[in-house]
Structure 1
């Protein structure tokens, strides 16, 4: 197969134990004199924040800490920070935490250098100017936001998650330190790990897939399948933590150069309406979308199944691909991912609204198989009614 494709990696990456200690030096190298450090209150109470601020203090980089963000970042949080700090002379941004912190940093940066409201920038390549230099320091192994040009923000008026997609918000530097993930609770380890797996699978199977991203995706899938259960079981397993953080980063590079698909198209309306954690939502929908998509490209879905651990010997391609559905369900169950019904706040009467949001989502266009609103409605219903992880029912 021949491809015409582009591949961009606008972010410099430093990966390894203890890399967070370099933040002060790197901030100075980027010309930072006064940084806005965006994090959440949970991290603000840990030793992780202190490691960052100690390094900034040592290099004489002034900073302000903003920790008033929520797990699904909201437009009002970003706008609050912008109005609070727009006259402070901020010339550097630091996103410390999970995807919420890093996406919030990108959104605040958008407001600092581009006129108008945040909703004016939802879409692809709608920024007029680059944001201030951004350093991202991930403390979860899931979003890959430290190496992507995307920021996903919940619009509190429409209850929809919206995306800013532009190279002008890409981080200048990612400091990726596995030691920072050792304190991550089991539930967040599981959800963010499945988020990374979703990124890798959708980047590999989506319509705009391309050879460099394909190679990265397959590497990430295999690494996650082997390491995620270990990281959930023993959060102090530094080797498993390192592998998961690497897989998350690699998957982020992959999907940032291709696209995502129907899993994200379903997960983001759910998160926008119910504030469901993004990784949990992706985990819940992944097996059912994977199953739906198999007819569009059995060979690629069979390859995913093999990387997940399915035995290829003597198996027909489609048989192998459908085993991937079972393996995804079993992995989610093993690490404690809840079913859609078990979330407790999901109302089936909202499924038409959610199906509409999924159908209108940008990722629908890139999904490997065409979907209608009715297809999405069936997928929401099927996921909600699912009980047996080993049951496969074609739509």
Structure 2
């Protein structure tokens, strides 16, 4: 973990508008920038309420799927046509596709031409991100993840050219999110903060964002699950997700996300619930390596704990208190695929190499078995 004098760089959208009603400013911003051909990237649920953007008739790709793959991306790029501003409207899947559409539209490039760090070209269209869940923090980040159907691996792309020109975080847009999705995406936001906070490349500059994000989830997530119309709780979670997105840029996630990814690519679990199911187990596995930070995390969740098994029980209890069934088997994950999942997760070195504990493939399989 880095000292305060270690160099670090933060990147975020030049304009962030936060608060209830801020989505109403979108049309004015687009007119002010001189854009005439906006293109919205959304999942079917948000495509059905596109009128909330206040743009009137607008070009739309409304078929973003959970855990989007390269085929879904190709269709979105083809639909973009001559768009001069791309608007991601939805959860992390919609916002990740919007980033990639913005840099691929009007080019002959494919995802493999730009995947990895700093390979995406400067984009022509503008980019706006409007989250409708409080989870991924993708609205403030430079990364996008899409599944390669041939390998069932997530292909990561990272570039400053995928940073939004404007992020609008309007907590009122999340009021309609169902209870179980609110719970899962809230734990995902927390997982971003926790993994950055405990990473080998954790930095004091990011620690402040991370811990406050964890505290916000501990304070507000149960309230939002119990009363979806609680705007203070919704705003608290939206801010936690934003802080998680800030953490992802210079630090990123570790083992929790590496183990969660095969749940999405192999078994189509939504990203939020996949991370929630894994969170207690990786937190416990890392506890001995980062004891002070683990204590701070458990305290922020209102469940003080010492030692790996107590930490696992505390984190599981927090999630179960939100109404989440924390067994992989309850979500359709078959026991006989756990070795394949462990193999896939262990190969995600860009995340695992920064975990505070070295996890072998056998260690990962044991964590999956504990979660089953």
**Which TM-score applies when normalising by structure 1?**
0.89
After superposition, the CA RMSD in angstroms is 1.8
**Number of the residue aligned with 2:340:** 353
**Number of the residue aligned with 2:371:** 383
CA contact (8 A) 1:303 1:321 kept: no
Q: SS in structure 2 opposite 1:77?
A: helix
Q: SS in structure 2 opposite 1:319?
A: coil
Q: SS in structure 2 opposite 1:335?
A: coil
Q: SS in structure 1 opposite 2:315?
A: helix
**Number of the residue aligned with 2:68:** 73
CA contact (8 A) 1:178 1:245 kept: yes
Structure 2 alignment gaps of length 5 or more: none
Q: SS in structure 1 opposite 2:39?
A: strand
1:147 pairs with 2:150: no
* Residues 53-94 of structure 1: CA deviation (Å, up to 9, x unaligned): x2x34xxxx730110111111211110122233xx3211100
**Number of the residue aligned with 2:31:** 28
1:120 pairs with 2:121: no
* Residues 337-394 of structure 1: CA deviation (Å, up to 9, x unaligned): 223334343122222221121111121111111111111111112211xxxxxxxxxx
Change in CA separation of 1:32 and 1:135 when aligned onto 2, cut-off 3 Å: same
Aligned residue pair count: 368
**Number of the residue aligned with 2:356:** 368
CA contact (8 A) 1:304 1:321 kept: no
**Number of the residue aligned with 1:159:** 152
187-196 or 321-330: which moved more? 321-330
Change in CA separation of 1:120 and 1:257 when aligned onto 2, cut-off 3 Å: same
**Number of the residue aligned with 1:137:** 130
**Which TM-score applies when normalising by structure 2?**
0.94
Question: Distance between the aligned counterparts of 2:282 and 2:106, measured in 1?
Answer: 38
Question: Distance between the aligned counterparts of 2:110 and 2:103, measured in 1?
Answer: 9
Written as runs of structure 1 = structure 2, the 5 A alignment for 1:1-395 is 1-11=3-13, 12-46=15-49, 49-52=50-53, 54=54, 56-57=55-56, 63-85=58-80, 88-112=81-105, 115-130=108-123, 132-311=125-304, 319=306, 323-361=310-348, 362-384=350-372
Structure 1 alignment gaps of length 5 or more: 312-317, 385-395
Question: Distance between the aligned counterparts of 1:134 and 1:40, measured in 2?
Answer: 17
Q: CA deviation at 1:322?
A: 5.9
